[in-house]
Structure 1
Amino acid sequence: MIQKHLMLALLWLVVICQAKANDTFCENGFEFRLLRAGDCSSLVVTGYHPIPSVDYSQPLHVPASVTHDGIKYIVERIWHDAFSGLACLQHVIIDDGISIINDNAFARCINLKSVYVPTSVEGVSPSAFAGCYSLSSLVVDTRNEYIDSRDSSNAIIDVDNDELLVACPSTRIPHSVRSIGEMAFINCTTLEELVIPEGVESIGSSAFCNCSSLKSITLPESLKKIGNNAFDRCNSLATIYIPKNVSEIGCMNIFSWCNGLSSIMVDNDNLYYRSRPENDAIVRKSDSALVATCGRTMIGDDISILDGECLYGTVVHSVNIPKTVAKVSGSAFVGCYGIDEITVAPDHPDFISPKGSNALLSKDGKTLLLGCRSTVIPDGVETIGESAFWGRYPNLVLHLPETIMKIDESAFGHCNAVEEVIIPKSVHSIGEGAFSDCVNLAVVQILSPVKTIEKFTFNNCYSLSTVSLPEGVETIGLCAFKNCKNLKHISLPKSVTKVEYWSFENCPAFEKK
């Protein structure tokens, strides 16, 4: 039920983005924006400006209706980031009639102590109160049919699914809860210890993201599933014990950026996963795949597969691929910025690492699967694999050899050292997000006859100012240049016949010539 209402909230984004400037107004410090649906008019709260004369030690009421220019409007929802970062707020009462509380609505309100949620609210984003580390009272009206805060839990729980959706540092998880939702405890930075009660079967993706003070967490034997990045950035967590009934662990490292984690133990009776003698990782029993790691993890000869993004956010300086490892993807090392050395067992049947290359290559030498900060791309390489250099290419100028024919998805994503990219004529394919989030990339020269600039190729390249596209390019993909805020010089060739949605979103100076 809650997921349904949040999806409806996202659909409203299309409507609100079409609102005109004169459809916004302020009353009593609140900013409102008008929505139109048929013959009815309603509002969303989009912001708030503190008033010097207001005593914020008293509750601030978020109104469910407002009169403006003699017209009374209904307030339907609290919009994204509407109150985020307001240090003045201490107590908030949301008036009955508001139905949706969107992403980060009250995020980082560091002095917010109590929130009252009325019977009318049907959906609350998990991040609505993220970073409110003073929040100690989170109460839902007992008559609400969709959500509750049962057993004085100081949490918001989905009634239909018994899923804990939103938590705060003082949350006590009721025994009736069956799952911890995605991002439920996100940014609860003062939470130090937690016992999850028996009955909980699932922990959602990023459920405890950035709980930086969390030192101890006890998982119940009833637990069956742990989602991606569940304990992301739990820097104070030193040890964790995985109970015997856990049968599913997300494909992204559940301990990403847990820099203090030194011991990972799996119950000996677990049928699906095992820990290693060193207690430094989780390994899937069925195929000896490495699925979750910490800063002490080494790739030993007990490993056959580097699964998903199993080393995501782990501090790694040296990588050695033993003979037992039969499957490696560059995505396994996403977030491993510090790799300086790559070696492969000399008699490996599937991979090679030519002397001096500091790279992992397919046996035929045509695909570079993994690169690092000291890689020299060997002669004969034709493909730069998926996420191969993610965050690790060290040079100011990326000038690829003339033998390169294909650059795979995210191959050079997050390579912040790169300021100029020259793509040679030999390249016929550039994958999605190949250079996404290269924040210092300023100049791109594409000399090759690629037909499509794939979606997200240069997304979030904030410094990008000059792009040279060759004749022959036909399509500019979805969000291909999104957030390239400094893009000033780009000329689309006559061959371009399709520019997809948001290709140049937030590119103020873009001009189609």
Structure 2
Amino acid sequence: MLGIKHNQHTNLYARKCNMKKHLSALVLAVAMILSAISGVLAEDITTCTDSNGIVYQLSEDSSYLILKNAINTTGPLTVPSEIEYEGKLYTVKEIASKAFCGSTATTITLPSTLTYVGDMAFAYCPQLTKVSFGRSKVALGNRVFAGSPNLAGITNYSGVEKIGYGVFDGTEWLRTKSISTVDSAVYLGKVLVAYFGNASSFNISTSCTSIAPNAFNGNTTLTSIDLSNVKSVGSSAFEDCINLSSVTFGNSLVEIGSYAFDGCSSLGGEITLSDTCEKLGAFAFSKTSVETADLSKTKIESIGNGTFKNCDYLNSVILPESTKHIGNYSFQGDSFLSDINAQNVLTIGYDAFRDCSILSDKEYFENVESVLSGAFDGTIIYEDVNGSALVIGKTLYKTEETEINLAVADGVKSISPYAFYAAETAQLLALPTSLESIDEKAFISLSDGTIFVFTKNEQVYSDLESLTSGTIYVPEGNTIENENVSVGYITGITITKNPVKTEYTYNENFDPTGIEIEVNTVLNGKESSYNISQIGYEPSYTYNFSASPIVTVSYCGYETTVITSIKFTSVPGDVNRDKNVTSDDILLLRKYIAGLVSEKEVDLIASDIDGTIGVNSDDLLLLRKVVAGLVSLK
């Protein structure tokens, strides 16, 4: 049953909607029979229509109703606060976009339950003259009443907290307000809708918490404004206010919309935003003269596209830990930018720092996992390419080699668009186990090559499916679905040339100079190997010369060994290497056997007193006898 809490005619409406409900039930029954035959489940019916022809729809969580369509309504109308649907009362909380657009309704009374009115909900209603709100907290979308020329009366609007752009464009209400308001400012509830004055400084009402989009757009006389009580600054609110030089932000600011201060060329000095701020829109401060942007206390997670683009004097940006993304061209053209703490940033968009000509420190971006093309072109950082690979954070950003001979460092997670834009062939390219993604345009010019893919990441395999020729080697048990390339398998690594230095004492570090390694492969049943020692590979070496002459060489998940020789200069029993055998050695050896100290803190050769290869309690007992003078070591 569908009922409406509306007026004295509620029962009449309930009966009329009841018939619609029975009809819907009949339709549903037929649909269920048909779906049973076809094996397809019928969709739930989530809309209902009242006797005025107004369509309501359940919200996604089925907790309230949205007035969806009322374009056929005429005359005066009161939107109900509640509707009974299928035996349950639902609150009407929203009016959908274009719900009344073009209707011939004359007056509209909105319920106190309403929280949101969608874009153009009452736009182009030629006979609409009056709208009464329900005093509840409500937000209005874009152009809600635009193009309704006879709308002159707006009442009970004290609960309006936020509005979109152009809400009253072309209405009599805004025209009248623009010429009759005392201080040249038009308010709707807590929103400053528009300012028509020419004062250099303007005091916003203390009850105002929101500046509407375009409210001051293009004002050339305003030089300062206090936004201490404002929570929301709308899109383009102060755009092209070219003489605005001072803005005071308060501790309640939540968001600044896109283009809010774009083109405010006189706005300089430092901008500091409070810990309540959560959003900074695209181009919000573009083309300003801001020198320092302190966002450290905010909760901003993403710097929008072009937010600080072409800020000629910006030299320092302090980001909060919450910022993980920097958008496209966010700081493009900021030629004085030299300092930005981006250590928590993970992704950087197109041209984000392009032409930031003195930006030089890669360490600011040490944790970045994805960088899109052009982000660092025109910076000192980009000059580090110098014909080789430029890695920024965990991203291979670019190489200018025309022929690739490169082992991408382990730890790199992504390869940027156009990273190998100049490369036509890959004589030898090794991709590490850490790699997670390759942009589809990374190898845009590559026509042939040999690529070792050490990672087992399926996304990387998918990204390589666009290659049109060449040979790709992957770990055994994996494959790449690409008929245009030959796919072989990596079977291991082999040392083909030992290091120059092979003799060590217990406390020396291993020197890999001269060592050469080959990757072993098989392709179509034929074994082969490739020398990767000349392409900048970075293997790791594990050793402990106080215990063993063996060095383990690891590269991208594969291992081999080097056998060295060790000069045994140890004195038996001299566990702590102080050239004496005393009770201190007994104490240290006892701690080592108990697991209280690591093997790096003891001379394991000297500790193996009984010569049985291995250090245990027998060696400790013998050492006690040596120190006590009961036995001697020769």
TM-score range, shorter chain: 0.3 to 0.5
Point out the structure with max Rg over C-alpha: 2
Higher helix share: 2
TM-score w.r.t. length of structure 2: 0.40
